[in-house]
Amino acid sequence: MITYDNVKIISTKTDKDYWDEDKRKHIKYKTPKTTTKTLFENNIFELGELYTAIKFSLEQEPYDKVSVAFDVKQEY
């Protein structure tokens, strides 16, 4: 049986500019603002559960970059 340990799904959002209502135009940041948010952090025992967790995370944050990291272990 294959288990997926330390599964971590992270959403990363990068803002390059913002709308200034007083000047009525977009203003760019000097350095882009990056916001990271952990969506899921747990152990998973089946591939179907991993797929479901990734799909659910993509539905939560459809416009942001989603990264997945995990360790794979085989049990006899």
Q: What sign does the CA torsion over 62, 70, 72, 52 have?
A: negative
Q: pLDDT value at position 75?
A: 82
Residue 49 burial (CB count, 10 A): 14
Q: pLDDT digit string (tens) for 12-48?
A: 999 999 999 999 999 999 999 999 999 999 999 999 9
Each domain of the chain, given as residue ranges in start order, spans 2-74
pLDDT at 59 over 90: yes
- Per-chain mean pLDDT for the chain: 94
Q: Distance between CA 44 and CA 70 in Å, rounded? A: 9
Burial of 31 (0-12, 13-18, 19+ CB in 10 A): exposed
Token pair belonging to 71: 């360790």
pLDDT at 76 over 90: no
pTM given for the model: 0.82
Q: Distance between CA 45 and CA 26 in Å, rounded? A: 47
